[in-house]
Every structure is written in structure tokens, then in C-alpha cells.
């Protein structure tokens, strides 16, 4: 039995190393399982995450890998104790992650969000056995059930369909797209006859630029964005800095433009628009009653509309796949936003930034009535009067290093962050040196000196960074001067310290170099070895095992964190608008 288990485990591991997954059919299990790996969609290539990285992400006290190789034949009693301790640590970490999945956590992104109860409620309401479904799969399954009921087809009749169809950017634009100024008209005409390239790769990247009043807009297949430089925007006393985002942008675009995969017919669109209505009804009922089932229903329908609907139309292996429909959504949305930009600029209202679903405007308070009228007229023009209305937020300060890295301070002093300024991370992402965005937030929002924030911060985990070796790469801790080496585990947590060692990433030797017997400038034969220092020039302390002590006893090298934060500030300040 042990040999069968071992062989299957090794088979599974070998597949995962190739970013493939062996999922034992759930219906074969006599004891039903709760699979956190699948609930969190870690079987997705973009999100693939090990338990050790989860331990790092949730500040688990002990990140531990097995101290011995798994395939040695004879082990000592002491090594057995070590393996059992390693096993227990993994079980405790998994249980901690289970509590996070239930929302029983202090993590700000997940606190109070019970993914398990949501699946129970959805299962009860929709009879979907979705205990181990990720969010996107739940939405996809709801769409499939609704479509089959409306179309009368059987689930075995709907299969992924490889669709090859040539179309242009103009084919993806709705009929109501129109412009008034020569610059926008010429830009529109220059693009609409260009064929959309669906194949991936740099050679198929399509990007078109339009500059107006100092702001450059990039039109791409996926979405519009402006090319923003590092800057600080502070409205004067007689000015308004206003963000306008389009609500429910993708579902509304599908609904109002009658977009649907042709091979599925209009029944797909009918059930999709019906889902929008049902979600809005459930949201209203939840606000009135506060009953959990209505919250589950509206959340389920939200999943069906976004990742399970729009998202699946862009996935080649999905039964809903239709690239033309996806492009009709994204390209149409971009030109809608361009219409709003043009109309506001013609009225003297300047757009300082734009992204996929909104724009940021800076204008005189005396122009607020004009701004409101233009926005309302635009909603009527593009069919957003019932759904997809603009949602507004006023800022008193907007700081950015790029279009996707910014901190916005609202007029009520609440802070919105993105990119470099985010201090709350999704579990599969790298939250290294969280103290830096924390210090940046305090500096830009409250004027607090970054050095004061950093040296007075008492949570050691916020100073920690994460690093992992992939494949045949190895991580080494190298002692200064003496040159002693310690081989590290694959996933490591560390912080920059005053008395640490060098952290080295060592790559497999290049055979071509080794066999060529090349000599370096000192006459030494090149053996093909390759390595590089992580955080070059700084010493680090490995912190895989948490030891609770006073923050001053860790001997943190604060200069590293201060310099990193100051570099971001220096790149921004001096560019004030």
C-alpha cells in the first residue's frame, strides 16, 4: 500500500513540475474531501502556489521543508522525529489556511469572507456540487445550467469550438461610436480597418497611441490606458480632481450590444441578461432582509457574469469560447471611453489619466455642472442609463509612479492604493517588504516621515521578504569573509539585517561553457557555473522560524527599507501638477 501511495504521489509531483495537475475524480472518493488547493484556484498556472508559499504569505510562524531526502532507505530515530515534526507543521499550516478560507483571519482581504459557506449556500440554492470549485468554475457551471435549460440542449452537445474568423477593429465597434473633432475622427478611421491579430507573441501585439492636451492614450486589444509619468496631482482650492468609473462595465456591454458566441445562439444572451436581472434582485433583497441566502445568490450570479461568462469567452478550452465576442466587448468599451474623453476635453475639462473602466479629470469647480451634463449625456448616448452608470469619487491628492501604481487620497481621507503602494496582497502574490508601501502610504497621505514609520514599526513580518528556487536552481547563504555556505530550502523568508550573510541564487552550470574550457581574465578555466546575489550589497537573516522578541533585537538594517522607499518618492516628487 505504501508503495502504491508513493508512486502515485511521485506521479502527481512530476506532473505539477510541468504545471499539469492530476485530479483524482471526486465521484470515486468514499470520503468526501475539501480541497483548498482547488477552492483557491491554485491549479491555475498563473496562481499555482505551494503550501510553503502560503505559509510565507499568511505569516505562519514556521516555514519548514523536510530536512532529509524523501527517497533514502535508512533513517535514524532522530530523523524520524524530524519528519513527524515537519508533518505536524504542515497540518497546522493547512488548518490555519482552512480558517482563512472560512474568513476567520485578520488578513484584510479575506476577513469575514467564508468561501466554504458560500459554496454550501450555492449548492443548496442551485443544486451544484461545487464544494471544491474555484470561483470561475462556479460561474461557468451556473451559465451552463441556465443555457441548457433555455436552449433545450444536452450538456454533451456543447463542447469547446475552435473558431477562426478574420475581423477588424471596426467590426468590434458598436454603431453609435462617433467623434466630433478631426483628431479623434482621423484616429478612429486609421484603426477601424486594421485586422485584429489573435495569436499571442510580441509580433502580434497591437497598440495605437493618441495624444491630447498632454495625455497620451494607448488603445490595445485588452483595454485602454494612458501613459502616465511619476507625478503628484493636488487640485487647487478652485479645482476638482474626480475619478469616474463605469459600473458593471463588461456585463453591461454584453447586454446592451447583444453580444453572444454565435455557435451558442441568442439563448446564451437571453440567459446572461436574465442573470443580470436576477443578481440585481438578489442584491436588493439582501439589503432589505440581510438574509445570507440572498448574499450567496447575488455573489453566485456575479461569478457567472464575470469570470464564468465574459472571462470564459476568451478561454480556448471553454464551451463559451468566442474571441470575436471578447474583442467586441473590450474594443467597444475603449472607444466608448474615448468618446467621453473627447466630449469632456471639448468643454475644457482635462483628463489626466485613463484606464480600462474609467477616467480621472481635473477641472475648475465652475465647470462642475458642465462635467455632470457631459457625463449624463454620454450615458444616454452609449446606453448606460439603466446599467453601467458612472460612479464618482473625488480626491484631494493623487500620487503615481505609473498608470498601475498609485495612491489616491479621497476627500474623506480614505486611501485607495494600487501596485507599488499596496500593502495588502493576495495569497499567491509576493508581499515582500510590506513595510515599504506602509511607509509610502503614511508619507503621502499624512506627511509622516518614512524613516519614522519604518524604525518605529514593530511587526517583524512586515520587514520580511520571500524568495523561492525553481527547478534546478539552488539558494545558498554565504558567510561574509570566511565564505562558509549553508544550503537553504526552496522557499525562504528573510529580512535585511546588520549582521547577516549573503543570499545567493545558484543556477545549474552551463555545459557549453564547461566543455569549451574557456579561460577568464585571471586565467582560470570557466566551469560554466552561474550565480547571482539576491538584494546585492545587503546582508540578510533567514527567518523561516519565528522567534518572538523585541523588534530591536532582530538587528534590522533599516537603511535598506528607507532607501527603497525614498527612491520611489524621489522618482515622484518634483513632478507636481
pLDDT at residue 176 in the model: 95
Residue ranges in the chain whose pLDDT is less than 50: none
Burial 221-256 (b: 16+ CB within 10 A, else e): bebbbbebebbbbebeeeebbbbbbbebbbbbbbbb
pTM comes to 0.89
Residue 524's pLDDT is 59
The predicted pLDDT at position 78 comes to: 92
What is the predicted pLDDT for the residue at 439?
97
pLDDT of residue 513: 54
pLDDT on residue 22: 67
* The pLDDT value given to residue 525: 59
DSSP designation for 312: G
DSSP conformation letters of 321-373: --HHHHHHHHHHHHHHHHHHHHHHHHTT-EEEEEETTEEEEEEEGGGHHHHHH
pLDDT of residue 45: 82
Amino acid at each position: 500500500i505504501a508503495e502504491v501511495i508513493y508512486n502515485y504521489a511521485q506521479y502527481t509531483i512530476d506532473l505539477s513540475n510541468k504545471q499539469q495537475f492530476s485530479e483524482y475524480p471526486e465521484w470515486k472518493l468514499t470520503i468526501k474531501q475539501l480541497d483548498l488547493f482547488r477552492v483557491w484556484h491554485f491549479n491555475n498556472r498563473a496562481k499555482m502556489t505551494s503550501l510553503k508559499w502560503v505559509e510565507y504569505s499568511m505569516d505562519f510562524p514556521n516555514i519548514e521543508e523536510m530536512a532529509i531526502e524523501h527517497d533514502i532507505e535508512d533513517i535514524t530515530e532522530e530523523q524520524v522525529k524530524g519528519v513527524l515534526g515537519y508533518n505536524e507543521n504542515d497540518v497546522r499550516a493547512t488548518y490555519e489556511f482552512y480558517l482563512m478560507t472560512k474568513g476567520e483571519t485578520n488578513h484584510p482581504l479575506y476577513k469575514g469572507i467564508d468561501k466554504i459557506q458560500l459554496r454550501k449556500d450555492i449548492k443548496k440554492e442551485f443544486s451544484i456540487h461545487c464544494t471544491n470549485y474555484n470561483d470561475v468554475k462556479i460561474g461557468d457551471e451556473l451559465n451552463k445550467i441556465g443555457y441548457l435549460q433555455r436552449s433545450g440542449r444536452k450538456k454533451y452537445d456543447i463542447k469547446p469550438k475552435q473558431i477562426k474568423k478574420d475581423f477588424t477593429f471596426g467590426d468590434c465597434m458598436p454603431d453609435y461610436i462617433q467623434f466630433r473633432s478631426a483628431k479623434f475622427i482621423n484616429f478612429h478611421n486609421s484603426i477601424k480597418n486594421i485586422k485584429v491579430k489573435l495569436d499571442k507573441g510580441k509580433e502580434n501585439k497591437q497598440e495605437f497611441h493618441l495624444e491630447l492636451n498632454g495625455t497620451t492614450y494607448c488603445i490595445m486589444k485588452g483595454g485602454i490606458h494612458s501613459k502616465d509619468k511619476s507625478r503628484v496631482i493636488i487640485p487647487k482650492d478652485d479645482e476638482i480632481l474626480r475619478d469616474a468609473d463605469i459600473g458593471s462595465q463588461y456585463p453591461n456591454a454584453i447586454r446592451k450590444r447583444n453580444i453572444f458566441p454565435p455557435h451558442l445562439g441568442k439563448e446564451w444572451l437571453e440567459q446572461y441578461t436574465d442573470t443580470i436581472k436576477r443578481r440585481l434582485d438578489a442584491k436588493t433583497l439582501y439589503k432589505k432582509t440581510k438574509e445570507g441566502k440572498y448574499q450567496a445568490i447575488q455573489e453566485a450570479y456575479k461569478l457567472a457574469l464575470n469570470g464564468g461568462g465574459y472571462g470564459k469567452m476568451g478561454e480556448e478550452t471553454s464551451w463559451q469560447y468566442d474571441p470575436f465576442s471578447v474583442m467586441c466587448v473590450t474594443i467597444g468599451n475603449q472607444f466608448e471611453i474615448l468618446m467621453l474623453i473627447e466630449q469632456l476635453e471639448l468643454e475644457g475639462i482635462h483628463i489626466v489619466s485613463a484606464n480600462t473602466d474609467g477616467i480621472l479629470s481635473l477641472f475648475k469647480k465652475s465647470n462642475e455642472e458642465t462635467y455632470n451634463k457631459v457625463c449624463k449625456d454620454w450615458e444616454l448616448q452609449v446606453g448606460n442609463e439603466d446599467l453601467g452608470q458612472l460612479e464618482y469619487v473625488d480626491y484631494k491628492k493623487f500620487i503615481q509612479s505609473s498608470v498601475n501604481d498609485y495612491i489616491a487620497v479621497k476627500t474623506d481621507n480614505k486611501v485607495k492604493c494600487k501596485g507599488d503602494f499596496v500593502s495588502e496582497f493576495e495569497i499567491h502574490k509576493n508581499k515582500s517588504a510590506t513595510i515599504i508601501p506602509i511607509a509610502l502610504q503614511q508619507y503621502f497621505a499624512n506627511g509622516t516621515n518614512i524613516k519614522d514609520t519604518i524604525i518605529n514599526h514593530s511587526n517583524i513580518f512586515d520587514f520580511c521578504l520571500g524568495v523561492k528556487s525553481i527547478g534546478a536552481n539552488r539558494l545558498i547563504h554565504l558567510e561574509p569573509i570566511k565564505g562558509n555556505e549553508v544550503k537553504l530550502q526552496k522557499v525562504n523568508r528573510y529580512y535585511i539585517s546588520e549582521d547577516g550573510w549573503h543570499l545567493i541564487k545558484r543556477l545549474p552550470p552551463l555545459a557549453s561553457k564547461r566543455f569549451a574550457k574557456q579561460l577568464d581574465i585571471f586565467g582560470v578555466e570557466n566551469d560554466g557555473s552561474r550565480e547571482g546575489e539576491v538584494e546585492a550589497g545587503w546582508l540578510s537573516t533567514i527567518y523561516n522560524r519565528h522567534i518572538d522578541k523585541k523588534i530591536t533585537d532582530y538587528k534590522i538594517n533599516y537603511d535598506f527599507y528607507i532607501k527603497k522607499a525614498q527612491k520611489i518618492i524621489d522618482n515622484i516628487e518634483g513632478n507636481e501638477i
